[in-house]
Structure 1
């Protein structure tokens, strides 16, 4: 008897090497593979920074090479309403959002998933470096095996229903292996540069781009002790920990230490900058997060160790407060409907409101929330007036 054909999988083909190899691997495994190219940005699609036409041509070339059908779908309206509008609101409020997290939750694993189901798919697949594991209680989101490319941080808002319908074919591979496979099967994009810009908007001068949508509002730029150094262009255009683009090329006190954005006071429209990477204003020992999303559907228990639904220990807890930052051991506390708190043994550098705090138990991504508040290691030398600010 002939084996039963495997189900239909719709793959998000972006034109990049990761999604291309994902589609090829699935076809090799016997799935009925269909490619879907998402167009999600139209405002300046003909500019040097938005290469969606070239990406579409690359995706079509890949589909032709591996022998699958492909179609294009336009989610620009959904992206603008669900992702970009929130992106602008957060920046206007002085926070620094992570559009990739929201884009995954609202577009790639919602609008795209719904469209794929209408095409008769049983599963969707993307080129993310992450893994899904089915267990007795449900589905777990795991880190990608290539630690330098792991993207579970951006996927932490996925729920059980979404994970049950998702495949990450390259999650168990290293990037070098993915490029090797692409070259061996003759994909022209085997050496194509990875996209590192804003999700679907591309790589561009960020302040210039943001200024098209948000007005400048200049104000004072001060040191933690209240010294006036100059003027900023608008708090929305800076993020905590930022070093470049502040406009302070030389040291004011001869120390030679670089300047970093250390705080934004929205009430007085004041930007505070501090010298030195490890200035106390840039270090936090705890934070508060809201808008929680937990992969299992329930929050992990408070403490330093995660237990699964059967009460089995799954390992010590750690968390990331930004994508490229290393995990740090943490304790979950004060977990309620309004959010949760995280405490760290090692101070976290530039933990930023608007970014995601993502919690792990070993290789398992548990979920997380949006940082709303941090407790800084405030220097004793600060004046009382600045400490209260």
Structure 2
């Protein structure tokens, strides 16, 4: 329970379906913000009940896991009369932050939300569920679990504008039988209506859309503060795809493939980041057509089906807010954790470090990380 409308309504739907529900809030800490504080004196179990929390955030970004979110989650749990605990994942979340910083400093574009789902929300939460003999782990993600021929399958959410199945591809296959996604079969306006009708006090709450640990400024400011030694040597030239030097940048960690705004140079027409070269410290820019790619390769694959059952013709989504594009997939027979995709039509801004998620219709069948 994050304190948002989706997980709050998910808890209600589970109760309505007859489940015994335990609310869990994931708390973490970071030097850049004081959030999710807990009064450990109030703890009555090994996982402390939240208490004594301050409100607010270091800025106005709408993230998640803040102290005010925790207070909202606790109020909802109290109203529903369900147990509510804070799970201290400070050490686990540090892994997410380190991954985020390292990817930017190696010229990649990280996706911490996908990693968080893989390592924490559908990773560590299962450890806690096992510890209290809970049968299922449920969240407020907009994706659906469907059973066909006795097999639980992960599918896109009913609301195409809110679908979050992309962010769930990294879940272990053997955990699909224990996943519940109660809001995935609803459209977002209906979820807000349910919350309003229940008087939960979170019906109008904004969706979390920011990186929750980057509480102030640009992500590059966070990276530099987190690892000042490595980021001290990332400045360099801005060059065109033709090799012409057109400017300088203060650090390539401030750029991502496909970026158009805040390039720091005026070209007289739209230019985009085409690639980042950490070895030369160059940021290469070009016109939109320079972003076109016929395909991609990906590693660290996670398959939710038997590899032999992956169809040759699939759809592949390469960014969170994108849409799956048709293409042909080939999986390395000697190393099934790697695969290649050739798109039916060239795709723009294939960014190393982002997830490439593979669909068969609406079903998520796996994915990997773009190389």
Identify whether the pair has TM-score above 0.5, normalized to the shorter chain: yes
- Partner of residue 193 from structure 1, selected from 199, 206, 209: 206
For 1:299 and 1:141, the matched residues in 2 are separated by: 18
User: Where does residue 130 of structure 1 map in the other structure?
Assistant: 143
Mapping of residues 1-389 of structure 1, within 5 Å: 13-46=1-34, 47-49=57-59, 52-81=66-95, 83-136=96-149, 138-199=151-212, 204-214=217-227, 215-216=231-232, 217-248=234-265, 250-251=266-267, 256-275=268-287, 278-279=288-289, 281-298=290-307, 300-301=309-310, 303-304=312-313, 317-336=314-333, 337=335, 339-372=338-371
Can you list the C-alpha shifts for 1:88-115, whole angstroms capped at 9, x where unaligned?
2222211111111111010001111111
Alpha-carbon spacing, 1:201–1:229, altered in 2? closer, same or farther (3 Å): closer
Larger radius of gyration: 1
Structure that is richer in strand per residue: 1
Q: Is the 1:195–1:202 Cα contact (8 Å) retained in structure 2?
A: no
Q: Is the 8 A contact 1:159 1:296 kept in 2?
A: no
For structure 2, which runs of at least 5 residues remain unmatched after alignment?
A: 35-56
Note if contact 2:310-2:365 (Cα within 8 Å) is conserved in structure 1: no
| Contact kept in structure 2, 1:139 and 1:164, CA below 8 Å | yes
CA change 1:32–1:334 in 2 (3 A) is closer
CA contact (8 A) 2:240 2:286 kept: yes
- The alpha-carbon deviation at position 283 of structure 1 amounts to 0.6
Q: Which has the higher helix share?
A: 2
TM-score, structure 1 normalization:
0.83
| Pair 1:113–1:202, CA change in 2 (3 A) | farther
Q: Is the 2:58–2:215 Cα contact (8 Å) retained in structure 1?
A: no
Give 5+ residue unaligned stretches, structure 1.
Answer: 1-12, 305-316, 373-389
> What is the alpha-carbon root mean square deviation over aligned residues?
1.8
Listed one character per residue, the Cα deviations across residues 316-361 of structure 1 (whole Å, up to 9, x for unaligned) are x111111112221110125331511000111111000100111101
Q: Aligned equivalents of 1:201 and 1:119: distance in 2?
A: 33
Instruction: Provide Cα deviations, 1:142-187, integer angstroms capped at 9, x if missing partner.
Output: 1000001110100011123221111000000000000000001101
Q: Distance in 2 between matches of 1:236 and 1:146?
A: 34
CA separation in 1, counterparts of 2:275 and 2:281?
11
